[in-house]
Amino acid sequence: MELFCHELVETDSSCRPVRAFRDAVLTRDSRVCQNLLSSERPSIKPGTESTDEQRYVRPILTGWMLQVCEDQKCEEEVFPLAVHYLDRHMSQNAVLRCRLQLLGCVCMFLASKLRESVPLSAAKLCIYTDHAVTVPEILQWEVLLVSRLDWDLAAVLPSDFLEPLLQTLPLSAEDTASVRRHTLSYIALSSTGTDPIRRISTLCVRLIVPLQL
């Protein structure tokens, strides 16, 4: 009996996990969009307005968070989800400016646990703050954040609407890939503005329609 294995096993720890193929049975089902719309909720309560302080610091903080997620090659859903947590928390609780970077780290740390195959480590996030934030602080604020969010962490993101909407467009495979890539980039950039995203589905439609024309 020959027991020699001819398979090539990758031992490089830097290899990214392989994502599953998109299931056309789900993405082409009209009930998917209907369920997403029924589950969609604004990141901030209606009638809540951002303060001048929040409008000033939000682009700076979210821009830094986007750079961290891009540098770590996170999944496209991690950054928008982290910003969603950030907006929900800041709309309900006052945060000192010296603690904003810590809050951003915790939001990315928590979002990566839900949407990333290999979550970001607290130690790695501390490096991006030049060790202005410590690991115990991230772990302590993680508990604080989930309690302030009432453990309601499974949010609907703009990217969740992307595949069902793409299936309705008469595009070739190459054009679909191009529209998907550009839309994900615009979703990330739109999350770094001065004001939070209020209607997720509306944003996704506004981004896709001009691209496919």
Q: What is the mean pLDDT of residues 52-77?
A: 88
CATH code of the domain containing 143: 1.10.472.10
Q: Could you tell me the two tokens for 135? A: 């690991």
Residue 133 lies in a domain: yes
The 10s digit of each residue's pLDDT in 165-206 is: 887 778 787 887 888 888 888 888 888 876 666 555 555 555
> Is residue 125 very low, low, confident or very high in pLDDT (cuts 50, 70, 90)?
very high
pLDDT at position 213, please? 46
* Domain extent for 101: 50-212
Please indicate, yes or no, if residue 17 is contained in any of the structural domains: no
pTM: 0.78
The reply to whether 32 falls in a domain is no
11, part of any domain: no
Q: pLDDT of 186-196, one tens digit each?
A: 888 888 876 66
CB 50 within 8 A of CB 194: yes
Contacts of 186-193 spanning 24+ positions with Cβ under 8 A: 187/76, 187/80, 187/158, 187/159, 188/66, 188/76, 188/79, 188/80, 191/62, 191/66, 191/79, 191/80, 191/83, 192/58, 192/59, 192/62, 192/63, 192/66, 192/83, 193/58, 193/59
